[in-house]
Amino acid sequence: MQRPYSKIVLILLIFISACLALLRFDSLQVGASYDDAHYIILAESLASGQGYELINFPRPQIERNFPPGWSLLLAPFTLVFPKNYDALKVVSLVLWLASIFLVHKLFSKRLASPHLEILTALVALNPLLVGTSVTVMSESAYLFFSLLALVVFDKLDEKKIGWLILAMVLAFYAQQIRTIGIALTVSLLIYLLFSRRFRNFGIASAILIGGILLQGWINLRNGGAVFSSGYEAQVLSGSILGKIGQVWANASGYFDNVITGSLIPVFGTRLDAALGIPLLIFNIIILLIIVAGIFSIKPKFEWMHIYFVIYMAGILAFWNPKVGSVKARFLIPMLPFMYLYFLIGLNWILQKIFRENAKIATRSLYGVVGIIALILLARNLMDWRSPIRNQMTDLSIGTSWVAENAPDDAVVMVNEPVPAYVHVKRKTINFPKNGQELEKYLQNQDIDYIVIAPL
């Protein structure tokens, strides 16, 4: 049950998160993540009517790996704000702030006050979520549409099938933003099937099959795969024993402070080397609390819990550890659920320990989450005062001069054509491969400028 102050707290948390995000607005340079520049180029391609291509190259390349959902969402803004990439970061920020509201809405039926407000606060202050919200990456958009699908599904009524159709369409669109979103659509089908909602299962299956057929037809026509050439190559390659080893490698990586460091960012700092075993024990305790929350939550059989399991299984099983698949950003869509399980597990453990004095258990819970909230806030402020861009190569070195002085139709040879494009704002192309004659390459590609920048 929500208390009267719940909405006021929600508005305050959204405001605080917005302030933290604005402080960190320039913490990461556009293009530094590589994928953000990729999305920008594809959005500009869609907006200009050139199809779904990497138009930064003199000879545009058809995109076969990135799903179109996020770029499609950005396309109108690239028309209204041409070459203004800060405007695209604002789109991501707005979706993030809306996601905080959806987190509160989704869990309002599952948590009573003040636990609901505590959970919302932990999500709103999380530095990984806040930091990602001011980039042109797809995480905030995926989080928004996946949460919106779950919230809409909560309104499902057997007599009003429109909510199911809307939830499935939103889930499928989330899949078009991130390919891992297939975990969202598949988990919904599993939930409907095992809860014996066969009519709903049939409708949802028809929507998913229709969407996949359309997606597959477009991708195959362009020479790609049904979902994503890159992902399918990772999923379908290798032996069963190799897959088992891959799961173990990914699991070891995520359980080694990546999960806990995403929830409580005291991890991943210099404390790791200084504390050693005590920090490892603390890491194990946090993971055990999450597991306790998963087993003690009620009701257990819900769409979002099945989604959590399938998503986590997906990032462990299908992403190749040889290409750096253990990344905290892959956990972003799961952080609200992890905080839910952590909070429920912590409360359950404290109630067991202090079963004869509920007040001590409650105060202990407030004390622990209060410390965590301070850590989250402190990490945001640290990232503001010492942004990560100060630890990375400045992509504007050399490229800023080209952007200001080169003709609009110039072709620029750079080490990384995709991220460099958003800074030179001209056609970009790679350096020649080993063995290629430089002079002949320059003439064949009509290259006008060469940017040699530090790696």
pLDDT tens digits, one per residue of 85-111? 999 999 999 999 999 999 999 999 899
Cα distance between residue 158 and residue 198, in whole Å: 11
User: Who wins on pLDDT, 329 or 340?
Assistant: 340
- What's the pLDDT at 1? 55
- Return the number of other C-beta atoms located less than 10 Å from residue 215's C-beta: 18
Portion of the chain with pLDDT greater than 90, in percent? 59
Give the three-class secondary structure for 449: strand
- What's the pLDDT at 299? 81
pLDDT tens digits, one per residue of 139-164? 999 999 999 999 999 987 656 788 99
- Return the number of other C-beta atoms located less than 10 Å from residue 265's C-beta: 21
- What's the pLDDT at 142? 98
10 close to 104: Cβ distance less than 8 angstroms: yes
Residue 394's Cβ-side half-sphere holds a number of Cα atoms within 13 Å equal to 7
454 close to 397: Cβ distance less than 8 angstroms: yes
Closest CA to 127 of 321, 374, 315, 362: 374
Beta bridge partners of 428: 412
- What's the pLDDT at 232? 62
pLDDT band at residue 223, thresholds of 50, 70 and 90? low
- What's the pLDDT at 268? 55
pLDDT band at residue 236, thresholds of 50, 70 and 90? low
The DSSP line for 387-447 is: -GGGGS--TTTTHHHHHHHS-TT-EEE-SSHHHHHHHH-SEEEPPPPTT--HHHHHHHTT-
pLDDT tens digits, one per residue of 380-436? 999 999 888 888 888 888 888 898 999 999 999 998 899 999 999 999 999 988 778
pLDDT (mean) for 120-145: 97
- What's the pLDDT at 213? 85
Residue 291 clears pLDDT 90, i.e. is over it: yes
Mean pLDDT, the chain, rounded, equals 88
- What's the pLDDT at 280? 78
**Structure tokens, 206:** 């028809």
Cα distance between residue 168 and residue 157, in whole Å: 14
